[in-house]
Amino acid sequence: MRAILSVLMGWGLAASAAWGFDVTGLSTPESLIVDPASGNYYIANINGSPTDKDNNGFITRLDKTGRVMAMRFVEGAPLHAPKGMAIVGQTLYVSDIDTVRGFDKTTGNLTALIPLAALGALFLNDLTADDQGNLYVSDSAGFVNPAAPGAVFKIETKQGHRAAVFARDAALGIPNGLMIHPKTKRLLVNTWGTGKIIEISSEGAPSLWMAHDAWQDLDGFDYDTTGNFYISSFTGGKIFRITPDRKSVLIARDLITPADVNIDRKNNLLLVPSFKSHTATTLPILP
């Protein structure tokens, strides 16, 4: 994979890095994140269908060098089809179909359970957290019911995990990747199919932030230390960099289903899970 990517090194990927890592032996990995506090990494493995409540999903834990500490760090909690992840304090939160589960990031013990089915959740997908510890989770409901509007839920972790609909609107399409804009602090959502980025106001109103003809079936969403954004095109096998002046630049191609990509801002690494190749890799970036 690194050899294929070398043809695009001039567009935001570094020609070399002090270190990086690859992980094999995964099972339908959807998300790869880093814990900024410890430097450890976590990978969400769906291990089957993303909609089946089969209790065979698991979370892999890596140390700060990318070595597998526990392939099945969390399993059977129950855990069906884990997708997006976010860390708030000591808790690793994971979206799982219609529920968000929280696990102690050191022990793997279940510490929080936030069911969202009563709010209409059908296909919980990405997770992100703001600087107040609030969680936002996208509901790609259109994957389950084409007539269902997309939604984003907000979970207040400091208020007993109080949950509510933050936004539900046909304008969201099939919302997928989430990110808090590092400057405006507003929530940005990328979309499956339509190739758009939607901004959601603090009142939950969606508006178009950016669109591009080259984008398709967007998934991961994150930013680096200088304010560049990164999005992955799952079916297109590409990763794009969005500069602060909103120019879209292709930086990686010929990937196999890059899913929920994230950024390790301390080490300037792009974290890339490959959904259908059952692997994950890191790519050095130039902020």
Question: What CATH number has the domain bearing residue 194?
Answer: 2.120.10.30
How many folded domains does the chain comprise? 1
81-112 pLDDT, tens digit per residue, is: 999 999 999 999 999 999 999 999 999 999 99
What pLDDT is attached to residue 160? 97
User: What percent of the chain stands above pLDDT 70?
Assistant: 94
Which residue in 51, 47, 69 sits closest to 60, CA to CA? 69
Q: How confident is the model at residue 10 (pLDDT cuts 50, 70, 90)?
A: very low
What pLDDT is attached to residue 62? 98
Q: How confident is the model at residue 5 (pLDDT cuts 50, 70, 90)?
A: very low
147-161 pLDDT, tens digit per residue, is: 999 999 999 999 999
pLDDT at 9 over 50: no
> 86 lies in which domain range?
2-284
What pLDDT is attached to residue 15? 52
User: What percent of the chain stands above pLDDT 90?
Assistant: 91
Decide if 82 contacts 96 (C-beta within 8 A).
yes
